[in-house]
Amino acid sequence: MSNATDLVHFLASLVLAAPAILIAMLGIPSLLGYPLSERESDRACRSTVALGLFASIGVLIWMLATDNRHVVIDLGNWVSIQHEGEGGEHAHYHFAVKFEFDRLSIPLAILSFALIGIIGAFASKYMHRESGYNRFFVQYALFLAGMVIASLADTIETLFLGWELVGLSSALLVAFFQERPAPCRNGLRVWVVYRVSDAALLFAAVTLHHMTGEGDFDRLLGTESWPHGQTALTQWHALVVGLLLVLAAAGKSALVPFSGWLPRAMEGPTPSSAVFYGALSVHLGAFLLLRMSPLITTSVWLAGVIVALGLVTAVYAYLVGTVQTDIKSALSFASLAQVGIIVVEIGLGHWVPFMWYVALTHLIGHACLRTLQFVRAPSLLRDYHELENAIGSRLPCPPGPLAAAPLRVRGWLYRFALERGYLDALLTDYIVQPFVGLFRWFDRLERRWSAFLNGTRSPEQKIPVPKPETSLPLSPVVKEEVHA
C-alpha cells in the first residue's frame, strides 16, 4: 500500500513538474540569449506535455482502482511565520503549497494537458518561421503552468498563483502580433479586465483567510471530496465571499458585463484563440465557481445571482453572436453562450447538486468541441471559398434568427447585437473615461504647480517619440488571421 501511495505521489509530482520543466527549458535559454530552435522547442513541448498527461492519467487510474477520490500533495509551507508577543498576542501566517486531485481537478488537468498538447503540435506547424515562434511557446508554457496550478490548487493562494499566470500569458498572447497597434490595444484591454478579476479573487482570498484563519480548501470547504464539501462560513459570509468570487469568475469567463474582451482576444494567433479563449481560459471562471460549490450550497442568494448572471450572459451572447460576420467572433460568442449555460447549471446546483456533475461534463465537452471548431476555422473558410468558386455563386445564406423577431423590436435588437450590447461603450463611458479624465486633470494641476514653484512658464514638456516603421508588410500568418 505504501508503495502504491508513493507511486501516486510520484505521478502527481510529475504532473506538477512537467509545466515547470517546460518553462525552464524554454525560458532560461531565452534569458541567456540563446533561444531553442523550432525543432528543439517542439520536442520540449511534446515531451513535457506528454509526461504531464500520462502522469495525470496514471493518477486517475490509481484513484479509480483504489476508490480514493481525494489525493493531496502537500509541498509544505512556502512561507511560515509565527509571532508570540510579550502581551500574549499571537500572530501567524503561512502560505501553504498544496495540490489536490479529486473528481473536479483531475478531469480539468487532463483536459488542459490534452488540449494544450494538441494545440502545441498544431502551433509548431502553424507558427513555422514566424518571428515570434519562441515567444509564443514561452507564453504557451506559462499558460500551461497556470492552468495546471489553478486546476489542482488546494489553497486559495495557490489558485491565485495559477490564475495570475493564465491572465498574463493570455494578455501577451492576444498582443502576439505586436507590430500592429490593434492587438496590443486589445491585449491591454484584456489585461485590465483580468486585473479587476484578479483583485476580486485576491480580496476574496484574504477575506477567507481572515474569516477562517486558513487559505486551505479543506478548512474552508470541508474535508469531504468534491462536491460533498461543506463550508463553515455563515450564509452572509458565504454571500460576501461568493459575490467576490462571482466578480472574479465574471472577469475571467467574460460574463456580463465583461464580455467585451472575448472577441477582442481573437486578435491573437488561431492556436492561442482556440485553446485559451475558446476552450480553457474562458472556462476558468466556471471552474472557480464549481470549486466553491459549498458556498453556493450555503447561500440561496448567491445561487440566485449566479443563475441570473449565467442566463443574462447566455441570452446576450446568443443575440450578439447571431450578427457576427467573421468566424472567430461568431465562435467566441457561441462559446460564451455555452459558458453562460454552464454557469446557470452551477447555480442550479444549490437545489440539485447533481447539476454540478452536469456542469463539469458540459464544460469538458464544450472545451473539446470548441477547440476543434477554432482550429478548423481558417481551413473551413478556404473550403467555403473553393465551394463558392466551384458553383460560381455565393452559398445560400438563410436569414438569421433576429429576422423572425417582431418588426417593432427587430431594429432595436439588431442595433443592440451589432453594438455588442453596448457593454464596451458603457464601461468606457462610465468607468474608463471618468477615471482617465480625473487623473489627467490631477496631472495638469501638478504640472502647473511644479511650473509655478520652479518659476517656469511651460509645464508641458514635449518629448519626441522614437519613430517606428508602421507600414510594414504583414506576415503570411497575419494575413490569414480573421480579425475580430
Q: Nearest distance from residue 115's CB to other proteins, in Å? A: 23
Q: Nearest distance from residue 415's CB to other proteins, in Å? A: 31
143 phi-psi bin (left φ>0, alpha ψ -120 to 50, beta other): alpha
In the complex with other proteins, which residue's Cβ is closer, 187 or 340? 187
For other proteins, which stretch binds (CB under 8 A), given 44-52, 311-319, 333-341, 442-450? 442-450
Q: Nearest distance from residue 396's CB to other proteins, in Å? A: 41
Among the listed residues 179, 214, 218, 224, the single contact to other proteins using CB under 8 A: 179
Q: Is position 456 an interface residue for other proteins (rule: CB under 8 A)?
A: yes
Among the listed residues 34, 395, 457, 469, the single contact to other proteins using CB under 8 A: 469
User: In this structure, are residues 146 and 140 in contact, taking their beta carbons and an 8 Å threshold?
Assistant: no
Helix, strand or coil for residue 299?
Answer: coil
Q: Nearest distance from residue 188's CB to other proteins, in Å? A: 5
Look at residues 343, 154, 97, 332 and name the one whose alpha carbon lies nearest to residue 242. 343
For other proteins, which stretch binds (CB under 8 A), given 122-130, 154-162, 374-382, 418-426? 154-162
Q: Is position 295 an interface residue for other proteins (rule: CB under 8 A)?
A: no
> What cell numbers appear for 137 in the block?
511557446
Q: Nearest distance from residue 443's CB to other proteins, in Å? A: 6
Q: Nearest distance from residue 75's CB to other proteins, in Å? A: 12
Report CA torsion sign: 436, 439, 445, 448.
Answer: negative
For other proteins, which stretch binds (CB under 8 A), given 38-46, 186-194, 295-303, 349-357? 186-194
Q: Is position 442 an interface residue for other proteins (rule: CB under 8 A)?
A: yes
Q: Is position 93 an interface residue for other proteins (rule: CB under 8 A)?
A: yes
> What cell numbers appear for 441 in the block?
486633470
Residue 278, CA distances (Å) to 59, 140, 338, 366 in order: 27, 15, 11, 9
Q: Is position 351 an interface residue for other proteins (rule: CB under 8 A)?
A: no
Is the preceding omega at residue 257 within 30 degrees of 0, hence cis? Answer: yes
In the complex with other proteins, which residue's Cβ is closer, 35 or 229? 35
> What cell numbers appear for 280 in the block?
480553457
- Owner of C-alpha cell 467576490: 244
Q: Nearest distance from residue 335's CB to other proteins, in Å? A: 25
User: In this structure, are residues 21 and 67 in contact, taking their beta carbons and an 8 Å threshold?
Assistant: no
Q: Is position 478 an interface residue for other proteins (rule: CB under 8 A)?
A: no
Task: Say what angle helices 284-291 and 235-252 make with each other, to 10 degrees.
Answer: 160
DSSP per-residue letters across 190-219: HHHHHHHHHHHHHHHHHHHHHHHS--BHHH
Q: Is position 164 an interface residue for other proteins (rule: CB under 8 A)?
A: yes
Among the listed residues 50, 66, 78, 411, the single contact to other proteins using CB under 8 A: 78
Q: Nearest distance from residue 292's CB to other proteins, in Å? A: 19
With vertex at residue 411, the alpha carbon angle to CA 406 and CA 413, rounded to the nearest 5 degrees, is 80
Q: Strands 71-84 and 90-101, how do they pair?
A: antiparallel
Q: Is position 85 an interface residue for other proteins (rule: CB under 8 A)?
A: yes
Q: Is position 175 an interface residue for other proteins (rule: CB under 8 A)?
A: yes
Q: How many CB atoms lie within 10 A of CB 376?
A: 15
100 phi-psi bin (left φ>0, alpha ψ -120 to 50, beta other): beta
Q: Is position 455 an interface residue for other proteins (rule: CB under 8 A)?
A: yes
Among the listed residues 2, 3, 39, 86, the single contact to other proteins using CB under 8 A: 86
Window 30 to 49, contacts with other proteins (CB under 8 A)? 30-33
Residue 416, CA distances (Å) to 291, 339, 419 in order: 34, 21, 5
Q: Is position 192 an interface residue for other proteins (rule: CB under 8 A)?
A: yes
Q: Is position 2 an interface residue for other proteins (rule: CB under 8 A)?
A: no
Residue 350, CA distances (Å) to 247, 249, 428 in order: 19, 18, 35
Residues interacting with other proteins, by CB under 8 A? 30-33, 77-81, 83, 85-86, 91, 93, 95, 157, 160-161, 164-165, 168, 171, 175, 178-181, 184-185, 187-188, 191-192, 195-196, 198-199, 202-203, 206-207, 209-210, 435-436, 438-440, 442-443, 446, 449-450, 453-456, 461, 463-470, 472
